[in-house]
């Protein structure tokens, strides 16, 4: 071979014109096929059809029963470990995944009955100082990506060059939804110099709002909308009906809060400028951005060793949650670079509401090892349950309008614990 390679003379001669033309045709054809593969497939309503797209190894992973594997993983990790083994096992886990055992509460490793309980560990008070900035991190993790969203296209960049539609992530806003309802009732709710407010005919003084010497609003009056009653259900479809198309809301309910104090509402209200929900000029929503404002996004990845509870990133009011049952692919950076629509395909809970600058949304996204998402103020939420997932884009919705008659939602202060991810 070496002799042939070195001693064979090279003779150059021109290719016939037809061969060159064929080569150009082949290159053009290949380019066209590649571009058509990138085109977005849409349904009869013009919405993008979410499908599994990526290289062959992504399709291999997609063929696995990830949801069943996740639940089995959760079951295995809920098994109680022998007390003598716990310190060794958890120390080994902490060493392998880089957990800081000095900041956990309780610090006695024998008090965690299972790996699942250790995974959902709490932190000591003061372990995470809160920055006074308007936006703080809701979790321990790594910043995967962040930026602004072009409001003409409403597409969020997953990684460089791969995008997904914001409507597919959050769900499509519908007329009659709670946000629209609050806006619709705006004329019935007025504020006079921020001294007192009338909400649906009920008068609140500023002292009541901010928890001063007056009695709490809960004591002095009751909201006009009774608890557990959907304020406007004209747009709610039959909860038992199967989903028909992309983005259809298949259930709606009002979630009763466990406990809310007027002082807590007031602390959020003050940070938001006192008059949220009472005197809003603009309806909040990803598609109702105020003039001069921009939509931003940030993605935080929680590695297996990270603290897995999430906290409020700012002072805001959660008006509703949308639970999208979906797949449970890994959400590691490796997967995010290869699987298009990863965050739209996976099971997630979109918590939507408002902060002092307008719309605010937070979406915890599940993964194979952490398929269960808990939200502390929503005891009815059940994630990663047995059964075939509905088509991508369908969701169940709950509104928190009864959580606070003042704020018409669940108020949260910066860094307040909201929930977390559990194994399986």
Partner 1 sequence: STIVLVFEAPADFEFTIHAGDKVKVGQCLGDI
CA distances from 406 to 137, 276, 283, 334 (A): 27, 8, 17, 44
Give the tokens for residue 320. 């509703």
Of 73, 112, 120, 355, the one binding partner 1 by CB under 8 A: 355
Q: Tell me: does residue 179 bind partner 1 (CB under 8 A).
A: no
Residue 74 C-alpha from the chain's centroid: 21
Q: Which of left, alpha, beta for 274 (phi over 0: left; psi -120 to 50: alpha)?
A: left
Q: Shortest Cβ distance from residue 147 to partner 1 (Å)?
A: 8
Q: Tell me: does residue 359 bind partner 1 (CB under 8 A).
A: yes
d(CA 196, CA 206): 5
Q: Quickly tell me which residue has 């935080």 as its tokens.
A: 300
Longest alpha-carbon distance in the chain: 102
Nearest to 250 by CA among 166, 178, 182, 322: 322
Mark the segment that binds partner 1 (CB under 8 A) among 18-26, 174-182, 214-222, 354-362. 354-362
Q: Shortest Cβ distance from residue 33 to partner 1 (Å)?
A: 32
Site for partner 1 in 267-286 (CB under 8 A): 284, 286
d(CA 179, CA 199): 15
d(CA 64, CA 76): 19
Residue 89, classed as helix, strand or coil, is helix
Residue with Cβ nearer partner 1 (172 or 209): 172
Of 66, 99, 168, 169, the one binding partner 1 by CB under 8 A: 169
**Count of residues for the chain?**
424
Of 311, 322, 323, 374, the one binding partner 1 by CB under 8 A: 311
Site string for partner 1, 398-417 (x = CB under 8 A): ----------------xx--
Of 171, 313, 409, 424, the one binding partner 1 by CB under 8 A: 313
Of 23, 79, 130, 385, the one binding partner 1 by CB under 8 A: 130
Residue with Cβ nearer partner 1 (196 or 357): 357
Residue with Cβ nearer partner 1 (110 or 356): 356
Q: Tell me: does residue 317 bind partner 1 (CB under 8 A).
A: no
Residues near 266 by beta carbon (within 8 Å), at least 6 away in sequence:
209, 210, 211, 406
Nearest to 245 by CA among 237, 255, 253: 237
Mark the segment that binds partner 1 (CB under 8 A) among 172-180, 189-197, 318-326, 359-367. 359-367
Mark the segment that binds partner 1 (CB under 8 A) among 37-45, 140-148, 219-227, 403-411. 140-148
Of 50, 362, 375, 399, the one binding partner 1 by CB under 8 A: 362
Of 53, 301, 305, 390, the one binding partner 1 by CB under 8 A: 301
Of 292, 386, 387, 388, the one binding partner 1 by CB under 8 A: 292
Give the tokens for residue 282. 């603009």
Q: Regarding beta strands 395-399 and 249-254, do their DSSP bridges make them parallel or antiparallel, or are they unpaired?
A: parallel
d(CA 73, CA 66): 10
d(CA 360, CA 348): 16
Of 143, 188, 263, 270, the one binding partner 1 by CB under 8 A: 143
Q: How many residues bind partner 1 (CB under 8 A)?
A: 63
Site for partner 1 in 329-348 (CB under 8 A): 331, 343, 348
How many Cβ atoms from other residues are within 10 Å of residue 278's Cβ?
21
Contact 299, 146 (CB under 8 A): yes
Q: Tell me: does residue 196 bind partner 1 (CB under 8 A).
A: no
Q: Tell me: does residue 315 bind partner 1 (CB under 8 A).
A: no
Residues near 244 by beta carbon (within 8 Å), at least 6 away in sequence:
none
Rounded to the nearest 10 degrees, how much is the dihedral formed by the CA atoms of 120, 125, 126, 132? Answer: 80
Mark the segment that binds partner 1 (CB under 8 A) among 12-20, 21-29, 220-228, 309-317. 309-317
Of 363, 375, 381, 398, the one binding partner 1 by CB under 8 A: 363
Of 47, 78, 87, 137, the one binding partner 1 by CB under 8 A: 137
Residues that bind partner 1 (CB under 8 A): 123, 128-131, 133-146, 149, 156, 166, 169-170, 284, 286, 289-290, 292-302, 307-308, 310-311, 313, 331, 343, 348, 355, 357-367, 370, 414-415, 421
């Amino acid at each position: 071979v070496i002799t042939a390679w070195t001693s064979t003379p090279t003779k150059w001669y021109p290719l016939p014109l037809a061969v060159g033309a064929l080569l150009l045709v082949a290159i053009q054809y290949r380019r066209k096929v590649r571009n058509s593969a990138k085109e977005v497939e849409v349904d009869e309503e013009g919405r993008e059809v979410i499908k599994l797209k990526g290289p062959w190894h992504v399709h291999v992973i997609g063929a696995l029963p990830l949801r069943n594997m996740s639940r089995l993983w959760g079951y295995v990790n809920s098994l109680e470990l022998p007390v003598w083994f716990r310190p060794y096992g958890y120390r080994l886990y902490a060493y392998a995944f880089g957990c800081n055992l000095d900041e956990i509460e309780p610090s006695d490793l024998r008090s965690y009955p299972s790996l699942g309980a250790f995974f959902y560990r709490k932190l000591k008070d003061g372990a995470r100082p809160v920055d006074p900035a308007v936006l703080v991190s809701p979790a321990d993790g790594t910043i995967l990506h962040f930026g602004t969203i072009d409001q003409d296209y409403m597409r969020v960049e997953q990684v460089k060059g791969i995008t997904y539609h914001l409507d597919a992530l959050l769900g499509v806003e519908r007329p009659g939804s709670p946000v629209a309802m609050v806006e619709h009732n705006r004329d019935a709710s007025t504020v006079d110099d921020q001294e007192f407010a009338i909400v649906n005919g009920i008068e609140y003084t500023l002292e009541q709002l901010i928890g001063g010497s007056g009695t709490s609003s809960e004591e002095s009056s009751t909201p006009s909308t009774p608890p557990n009653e959907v304020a406007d259900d004209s747009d709610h479809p039959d909860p038992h009906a199967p989903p028909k198309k992309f983005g259809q809301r298949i259930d709606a309910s009002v979630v009763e809060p466990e406990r809310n104090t007027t002082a807590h509402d007031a602390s959020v209200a003050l940070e938001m400028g006192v008059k949220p929900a009472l005197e809003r000029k603009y309806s909040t929503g990803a598609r109702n951005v105020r003039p001069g404002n921009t939509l931003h996004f940030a993605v935080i990845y929680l590695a297996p060793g990270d603290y897995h509870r999430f906290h409020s990133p700012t002072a805001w009011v959660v008006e509703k949650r949308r639970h999208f049952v979906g797949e449970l692919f890994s959400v590691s950076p490796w997967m995010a670079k290869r699987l298009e629509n990863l965050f739209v395909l996976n099971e997630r809970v979109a918590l939507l509401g408002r902060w002092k600058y307008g719309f605010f949304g937070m979406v915890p996204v599940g993964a194979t090892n952490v398929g269960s998402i808990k939200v502390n103020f929503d005891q009815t939420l059940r994630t990663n349950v047995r059964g075939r997932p509905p088509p991508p884009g369908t969701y169940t919705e709950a509104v928190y309008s009864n959580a606070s008659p003042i704020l018409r939602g669940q108020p949260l202060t910066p860094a307040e614990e909201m929930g977390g991810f559990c194994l399986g």
